[in-house]
Amino acid sequence: MTRDEFVGELIACAKRLWTSMWSALPDERRLRLAAIEDELGVIGRQVQAGLWQLVAEHLDELSAQLEARCDGCRYRRERRREQVEVDVLGHRCVFACSYLYCRRCGKGVNPVRRWLGIEHGDVSLGLERAVTDLTTRMTFGDAVDSMQEHHGQALDRTKAERITYRVGEQAAAYLGERRAKAREQELSGEGAMAPQLVFTADGGMIPVGVLTRPAEEQVDAKTPRTPVRQLAKGTRTIAGREGRLISVHPAQRQDQRVVDMHIAPYDDVAYTGERMRAAAAAAGLRDHSHIHGVFDMGRWIHPQFEEQFDSYERSACADIMHVADYLIDAGRVVAGVDGAIGWGMMQKRRLLDGQLDAARADLAAHACTETCTSDEHPQCRVGIARRYIDNHELYVDQYAEIRRRDLPVGSGEAESGVRHLLKRRMSIAGAWTEAHADLMLGLLAIRASGWWDDFWIWRDLQDREQWHQRQRGADRPQFRGRRISTAPEVTA
């Protein structure tokens, strides 16, 4: 019998019983849309729970068929029975698991565990997806409340965290595979080529904390302890780490953007540079591609852009709005507070029209006086603007040509990404560990790149491969369940 045939029989059986059950309901329950929805929801949840129970009973029956004698020596096996609780989407299932042991061969097997790959307290792939979908959008506490509201399923906040970080580890492996494949395709020339790519990058601070517990000699009977593990409570020092966002996409096709988010190691800008190159390769960077970069002139961005894409046709410019901020600041000295914005916007228009020399001349015409500096601004702001333009001349002298090619001159895409992709989730009150922050950034990057469905298809394929390994006896997972202290039960 196929699944469709089974469902058809189930509906036919329900149809025979439907009239007597439904007609017994009061009119306000069977003739009102909201009440009908509620009734069907309850029936659906009960039917699903019943089907899970049928599955558990069927697996127990299959397991019982293997109990009698050992496959190798035909010696009678010993049996130990235990119950394993597993959370699936919407339910908590209890599976009866029998451990079968042959003393002569010294071998044991737990058929249900081998089939399902479960330990006590595990969760299903569907529940992992539902939880992670919420925890990447809101706090862990809010995600738990939302699970209760929409699925009627109670979860502990810390369990939601553990699920998310476990999925985050899988996400890191998935992204690593994608980066490696993208670099291979870039070198071999395989895959779709994007003739014109747009690159932008920016960063934002993430609160990262380091937990420090008191030393053993400082711990006494009065020291507060954690409720479960009874560890001495510590303090968490919160500091800021820069989360970096890279976005690359074909020109005029932001829907095909590839986003990378990560926390780079200290003093290792090359790490971010490699991620830049991999993101561009995933977006279609090939031998004949042209890549255009627009960014503020952060020390980790433009040097790595030039180094990573040195062998490709490229163009780059400083974010015009970032440059305008310097010019408006200079305008406060040259034209006064009231005229600063107008003066700065005039210089900005000159740069956009390719009149760098005219803007430079206006800045050079300023003669510093005592009024140029103050306690708040110890350096002349006109001088600061001049040095910025002189130091980055190559990146402020191409605006007219870049606009003629219909390419962006502002990095608003990256700044918006930092606000709405990175900080919206990562800057919520509290602090991350650095490792957990990086795992969450990986999940956010998958969603922002439009790979969410593909990631879960990949996870399902990984789960299938692990199942085959278990059947071959090749997979020996580390024990993560609850220890059973009862003695084995010998079958008659």
Burial of 211 (0-12, 13-18, 19+ CB in 10 A): exposed
> What value does the CA radius of gyration of the chain take, rounded to a whole number of Å?
31
State the pLDDT confidence band at 479, using cuts at 50, 70 and 90: very low
Q: Mean pLDDT across the stretch 94-104?
A: 84
| 221-243 residue pLDDT tens | 778 877 767 778 777 777 788 89
Q: Mean pLDDT across the stretch 56-68?
A: 81
Q: What's the pLDDT at 26?
A: 92
Q: Mean pLDDT across the stretch 72-93?
A: 84
Q: What's the pLDDT at 375?
A: 55
| 260-272 residue pLDDT tens | 999 988 888 899 9
Crossing angle of helices 452-472 and 434-448, in 10° steps, is: 110
Q: Mean pLDDT across the stretch 462-478?
A: 77
- Which pTM was predicted? 0.85
Give dist(CA 297, CA 317) in Å, integer: 9
Name the residue type at position 263. I
State the pLDDT confidence band at 306, using cuts at 50, 70 and 90: very high
Is 365's pLDDT higher than 80?
Answer: yes
State the pLDDT confidence band at 215, using cuts at 50, 70 and 90: confident
Question: Cβ distance 371 to 382 under 8 Å?
Answer: no
Q: What's the pLDDT at 488?
A: 45
**Residue 291 tokens, joined:** 């890549």
Is 190's pLDDT higher than 80?
Answer: yes
437 Cβ contact partners less than 8 Å away, ≥ 6 residues apart: 206, 208, 241, 243, 263, 426
**Contacts of the segment 10-16: beta carbons below 8 A, 24+ positions apart:** none
110 Cβ contact partners less than 8 Å away, ≥ 6 residues apart: 97, 98, 99, 100
Q: What's the whole-number average pLDDT of the chain? A: 86
Name the residue type at position 407. L
Give dist(CA 119, CA 49) in Å, integer: 20
Is 477's pLDDT higher than 70?
Answer: no
Q: What's the pLDDT at 484?
A: 43
The separation between CA 410 and the C-alpha centre of its own chain, rounded to angstroms, equals 27
Give dist(CA 346, CA 324) in Å, integer: 10
Question: Cβ distance 414 to 203 under 8 Å?
Answer: no
Instruction: Please provide residue 142's backbone torsions phi and psi, each rounded to the nearest 5 degrees.
Output: -65, -35
State the pLDDT confidence band at 476, using cuts at 50, 70 and 90: low
Q: What's the pLDDT at 250?
A: 93
Is 33's pLDDT higher than 80?
Answer: yes
State the pLDDT confidence band at 337, using cuts at 50, 70 and 90: confident
Q: What angle do CA 442, 447, 453 make, to 5 degrees?
A: 115
| 107-138 residue pLDDT tens | 778 888 888 888 878 899 999 999 999 999 99
**Residue 474 tokens, joined:** 């090749």
Instruction: List the one residue out of 110, 84, 86, 85 whose CA is nearest residue 98.
Output: 110
Q: What's the pLDDT at 480?
A: 46
State the pLDDT confidence band at 182, using cuts at 50, 70 and 90: very high
Crossing angle of helices 157-188 and 434-448, in 10° steps, is: 60
Is 460's pLDDT higher than 90?
Answer: yes
In the sheet where 489-490 sits, what is the strand order?
107-109, 91-102, 78-88, 489-490
Least confident of 3-7, 155-159, 426-430: 426-430
Give dist(CA 97, CA 468) in Å, integer: 19
Name the residue type at position 106. G
